[in-house]
Amino acid sequence: MIETPFASSTRSIPEVGAVPRHIAIIMDGNGRWARQRLMPRVAGHTRGVETVREVIRASMERGVSYLTLFAFSSENWRRPADEVSFLMQLFMRALQKEVDRLHKNGIRFRVIGDLSRFDAKLVDLIRSAEALTADNRALTLSVAANYGGRWDILQAVNRILARDPERREAITEEQLAAELAMNYAPEPDLFIRTGGEQRISNFLLWQLAYTELFFTDTLWPDFDANALDQAIAWYRQRERRFGRTSEQLQQHSADVSSAKPGEHA
């Protein structure tokens, strides 16, 4: 069983830099954006794809290494059938159109979620885009599609059990994390939800344990590079204590800055 090379926010203390290494976004508010303009809800989804392009570009420029976008939740099947099928078509068209550009820009593309309900054509497209871009490292772009945080934790546990049905030992945090759909990425440093709601909506339940949560009323089609910068600026003001006291953190940074070069505090 492989264990992830990334620090767990509950088992150790992750390193914190000025730029979030991993940003995870719930892209919400497309329908309301369209309704405000007396357009059908789906027009908001189409416009939202442009925001996706801009946010990918801006994230790369800012030095973010992992960007994860919630595109379709395991609960979004409850929407009207025509909206669901529009979203699937849009995803497929965007992927067909953008995959070469993603690859040229050195982006690794991954999809997390239960693909078993998707059209075979869409699944093929996803798998070939993932294979094409597998060795790229400028940015890892993960799209959560038919994703649910509860599904993710359960599939991880079930994979462990399926491999060893006789298993008696308790599952460790590291073993479970290694089986999550996003086992190739560190936990998000910054979470952003557009559209005004302040909830997680079954997104990355496990990984958001110590993530800084940023909520904005801006609707997704109106979100842009400038709004992303505002979220990052807000993130920089946070004191990420991971359970410790503020005094301990100040002591820690004093120790680090007084350590001789090459010596670790």
Binding mask 205-234 for ligand IPE (x = CB under 6 A): ------------------------------
From the CB of 246, what's the least distance to ligand IPE, in Å? 33
Binding mask 217-236 for Mg ion (x = CB under 5 A): --------------------
Binds 211: which of Mg ion, ligand IPE, none (CB < 5-8 Å by kind)? none
Calpha distance 12→177 (Å, rounded): 14
Beta carbons within 8 Å of 200's beta carbon, 6+ residues apart: 26, 149, 208
Side chain identity, residue 14: P
32 binds ligand IPE per the rule CB under 6 A? yes
From the CB of 29, what's the least distance to ligand IPE, in Å? 4
Calpha distance 190→103 (Å, rounded): 25
212 binds Mg ion per the rule CB under 5 A? no
201 binds ligand IPE per the rule CB under 6 A? yes
Identify the DSSP state of 149.
H
Calpha distance 110→185 (Å, rounded): 11
Q: Which span (24-32, 115-123, 157-165, 172-180) binds ligand IPE, by CB under 6 A?
A: 24-32
Nearest residue to ligand IPE, using CB? 31
Residues facing 111 on adjacent strands: 143
CB 97 within 8 A of CB 66: no
Question: Does residue 158 have an active-site annotation?
Answer: no
Total binding residues for ligand IPE by CB under 6 A? 17
CB 114 within 8 A of CB 147: yes
CB 90 within 8 A of CB 46: yes
Question: Does residue 255 have an active-site annotation?
Answer: no
Binding mask 16-45 for Mg ion (x = CB under 5 A): ------------x-----------------
Could you give the residue numbers annotated as active site?
Answer: 28, 76
